[in-house]
Amino acid sequence: MDEILKLQQKIVPELIELLEKRYNILRTIYYNQPVGRRILANSVNLGERIVRTEINFLKSVNLIEVSAPGMSVTAEGENIIDKLKSFIHEIKGLSDIEDVIKEKLDVKKVIIVPGDMDEDRTVVKELGRAAANYIKGVIKSGDIIALTGGSTIKEVIDNVPKMQNIYNALVVPARGGMGKQVEIQANTLAANLANKIGGSYKLLHIPDNISDRALDTMLNERDIKDIIENIKNSNVLIYGIGRADEMAKRRGVTPEMIDKLTAIGTVGEAFGCYFNKDGEVVYSTPTVGINSSDIRRINYPVAVAGGSSKAEAILATEKGNKSGVLITDEGAAKEILRLIKEYENSHTNN
């Protein structure tokens, strides 16, 4: 198969490009259905005339249907998307990139989905599906599963199917709450995942950036102590990664502290910990839950993040995480490779 793909790419590269284009259009329709032609053209970054031609073709082979509300994918179209997924993965060379990043970061596993979240927001849905599929395969009876909040992790939980063969699993938030959007907070997502796997859940009602005095008082509460113990004993962790500057603002870090974090070269954030380019934790928000030292003893720490703009943050937070699983997109992966190569070249020259 690999040899045939290489021959196709060399002799008829235009066929591969056409296949990728039609797959991308079909996938975008699927994740946005029903969708109009103009919105579709903007989403896939193609002219309306080109999109119109491709729509007519996809409709003629019964992969999409067009109605008053917009276009939607047929059952046959869904089947095509599913079957093409691994093929597109191979022709883009993503398996090779996974192997290189796994070796360079020294992590257990890397999974890459096609596309770049920064350019196409529907890629986050593909990211969510890939992460949910991996998590479904590692969760087992008796597990304690901790997770962070955020829109990407919500996409993961939304894609986890109902599971009938899991018993006595417990789901807990990995850290205290953040932000005002209840639907993407860790407490909400923990409850949603527990319902899907037939497990139980516990909630942690402690906000980020709470004062030290208030935090000390709350830590004396028995219920809080119990859930913290559960969090510390979790064996599966699902978490997102953010850029340090963006996450500091979202977590309500003071402008003075943000300036300080920038000055010392902080680039990435995960579970309330801020990392510099060398992968060192230089600051942590004053709340309870998972921290960087806990990651080393968790069986399955699963990081889910995409977008080329997050490459530096991903590189900083995941470097040397030997048991870590990274699920990301093509945009972030290629930028990670570029950053690694740039770093290696600069050290070779020195």
**Cα dist. 49→52, 70, 103 in Å?**
5, 17, 44
Task: Provide mean pLDDT across the span 181-205.
Answer: 91
What is the model's pLDDT at position 227? Answer: 86
Task: Provide mean pLDDT across the span 244-251.
Answer: 84
What is the model's pLDDT at position 131? Answer: 96
What is the model's pLDDT at position 10? Answer: 72
Does residue 207 surpass a pLDDT of 80? no
**Cα dist. 300→158, 236, 268 in Å?**
20, 5, 20
Task: Provide mean pLDDT across the span 28-33.
Answer: 91
What is the model's pLDDT at position 57? Answer: 94
DSSP states along 85-116: HHHHHHHTTHHHHHHHHHHHHT-SEEEEESS-
CATH of domain 2-91: 1.10.10.10
Strands 236-240 and 144-147: parallel
Contact 300, 237 (CB under 8 A): yes
The alpha carbon dihedral of 97, 305, 281, 345 has a sign of positive
Q: Is 292 in a helix, a strand, or coil?
A: helix
Domain chopping of the chain, boundaries: 2-91, 94-349
Does residue 85 surpass a pLDDT of 90? no
What is the model's pLDDT at position 20? Answer: 87
Can you give the pTM of this predicted structure?
0.87
What is the model's pLDDT at position 304? Answer: 97
Task: Provide mean pLDDT across the span 78-84.
Answer: 89
What is the model's pLDDT at position 5? Answer: 64
Residue 279 neighbours by CB under 8 Å, 6+ apart: 315, 316, 317, 318, 319, 320
Task: Provide mean pLDDT across the span 90-96.
Answer: 87
Of 286 and 73, which is predicted with more confidence?
73
Predicted confidence (pLDDT) per residue in 40-65, tens digit: 998 888 888 999 999 999 999 999 99
Q: Distance between CA atoms of 204 and 207, rounded to whole angstroms? A: 9
Q: Copy the structure tokens of residue 31.
A: 């994740």
Strands (E), the chain: 64-67, 70-73, 109-113, 144-147, 170-173, 200-201, 236-240, 242-243, 266-270, 273-276, 281-284, 300-304, 325-329
Q: For 90-94, 142-146, 174-178, 292-296, which range has the lowest pLDDT when averaged over its residues?
A: 174-178
**Percent of the residues in the chain that have a pLDDT greater than 70, as a whole number:** 91
- Of 262, 287, 295, give the one whose Cα is nearest residue 277: 262
**Percent of the residues in the chain that have a pLDDT greater than 90, as a whole number:** 53
**Cα dist. 224→14, 188, 204, 213 in Å?**
60, 17, 7, 15
CATH topology for 94-349?
A: Rossmann fold (3.40.50)
Does residue 271 surpass a pLDDT of 70? yes
Q: Copy the structure tokens of residue 48.
A: 């309306």
Does residue 209 surpass a pLDDT of 80? no
Mean pLDDT across the chain, nearest whole number?
88
Q: Model confidence at 2, in pLDDT bands (50, 70, 90)?
A: low
Cβ atoms within 10 A of the Cβ of 7, count? 10
Task: Provide mean pLDDT across the span 132-161.
Answer: 95
Which H or E run includes 345? helix 330-349
User: How many residues in total does the chain contain?
Assistant: 350
